[in-house]
Amino acid sequence: MSRTDTVVREETADALASASEVMTYRDALRLALREELQRDEHVFIMGEEVGVFDGAYKVTAGLLEEFGPERVRDTPISEEGFVGAGVGAAMLGERPVVEIMTINFLLVAMDQVVNHAAKIGAMFGGEVRCPLVIRTPNGAGNQLTAQHSQSFEVWFAGTPGLKVLAPASPADAKGLLKSAIRDDDPVLLVENLAIYKERGAVPLDPEFLTPIGLANVARTGSDITLVAHSYATVRALHVAEALARDHGVDAEVVDLRSLRPLDVDTVVASVAKTNRAVCIEEGWPTYGVTAELAARIQKACFDELDAPVERVGMAEVPLPYAKELETAALPGADRIEAAVLATLGLRA
């Protein structure tokens, strides 16, 4: 870990220790939006139901009333159109924050994101930038079935030209969204349906920013490293507590926070210390975030590893509706714990 990272972490701890308030992830996102709308007149919001309806998941509740319809713009259902409009406005220096109701609906706009937004900086040789933010939740667990339960942020994280962030805590939800809005490149901020209601301390300082490209050691431990992002981090933290209580296993949890750029340094430092790693994601692991992590870890930690890097993700099926099938398919605590114990040689 570089000294800079240490300094940043201390600053974050200081910010949390000074003026903070316990709030939900959802409220933290709204606080970030409000602060940035107040700070910079170029910031504006658009998306389906973000205004009159207060947001499909209520992240933008009250913002239309506060900032008016020019700053909080309801769109028709036409994702390709309004994501592309965000790209164009950003090319002139506007700072659009586009909400996509769920990541599943981002696919119809994928061409604008991958084939347009991601290309602008390079194609214009840096002469034109695209400071666009797309916010959207991923996730499963509410029986939303095959077309509404997906987590394919990795598709975007595999695209040069994009930045992809995935906060797992209310503080990072605020800090990363603000960093995304102030960043000069297109950023996809992946939220999560299950975390919206999670509560945590959030710094009230309007200059509190979580750095892009810096992972967070969310729990320190010595026996094994769990690497995750978004809701999988919440799962990993719960499993880590259970492992300590029930098995005397002291797990370290690395919350990636940022998928592209990826903080490989923090992951490698942790695995070099614990010698074992289980990587967890909500999405399908094949060609997934955990696949990328496993490749990087085995190369950087080849001599330190005491066991193969293990991966846990969603069962590789289109998610069925029935609760029993959905529960079996998701990377639940039982599967994560079993993977950890197997990696430690404590269970076959």
Measured from the CB atom, the residue of 76 and 160 that comes closer to another protein is 76
* Sheet of 251-255, strand order: 216-219, 251-255, 224-228, 277-280, 310-312
Residue 312 is a binding residue for another protein (CB under 8 A): yes
Q: Does 105 bind another protein (CB under 8 A)?
A: yes
State the sign of the Cα–Cα–Cα–Cα dihedral 87, 90, 94, 96. Answer: positive
Dihedral sign from CA coordinates of 116, 119, 121, 124 = negative
Residue with tokens 């996509």: 100
Catalytic residue check, 148: yes
Instruction: Report the nearest approach of another protein to the CB of residue 234 (Å).
Output: 19
Tokens of 319: 């998610």
> CB of residue 20 vs another protein: minimum separation in angstroms?
31
User: In this structure, what DSSP letter does residue 343 have?
Assistant: H
* 42 belongs to the catalytic site: no
Of the residues 317, 333, 346, 347, which one makes contact with another protein according to CB under 8 A: 317
Q: Is 302 in the site for another protein (CB under 8 A)?
A: no
- Out of 76, 125, 160, 248, which residue is the one contacting another protein (CB under 8 A)? 76
Single-letter amino acid code for the residue at 42: H
Residue numbers 121-150 binding another protein by CB under 8 A: 142-148
Q: How far is the CB of 49 from another protein (least distance, A)?
A: 5
Question: Please, what is the minimum distance in Å from the beta carbon of residue 191 to another protein?
Answer: 18
Site for another protein in 16-75 (CB under 8 A): 48-49, 52-54, 56, 74
| Residue 151 near residue 107 (C-beta atoms within 8 A) | no
Strand duo 199-203 + 20-24: pairing: antiparallel
Which candidate in 148, 198, 238, 304 is catalytic? 148
Residues 184-223 touching another protein, rule: CB under 8 A, are none
Q: Give the integer Cα–Cα distance in Å for 4 and 251.
A: 25
Which one of the listed residues 36, 79, 191, 252 is annotated catalytic? Answer: 79
Of 203 and 288, the one with the shorter C-beta distance to another protein is: 288
Give the Å distances, CA to CA, from 272 to 132, 133, 221, 307: 37, 35, 12, 12
Q: Nearer Cβ to another protein, position 76 or 125?
A: 76
Task: State the nearest-atom distance from the C-beta of 104 to another protein, in Å.
Answer: 7
CB of 179 to another protein, least distance (A): 30
What is d(CA 32, CA 116) in angstroms, rounded to the nearest whole number? 27
CA–CA distances in Å: residue 61 to residues 8, 35, 53, 78, 258: 31, 14, 8, 21, 26
Contacting range for another protein; rule: CB under 8 A; set: 2-10, 189-197, 221-229, 326-334? 326-334
* The token pair that represents 79 in the structure block: 């994702």
For another protein, the binding residues (CB under 8 A) are 48-49, 52-54, 56, 74, 76-81, 104-105, 107-108, 142-148, 278, 285-286, 290, 308, 310-313, 315-318, 320-325, 328-329, 331, 335, 338-339, 342
Q: Catalytic residue numbers? A: 79, 148
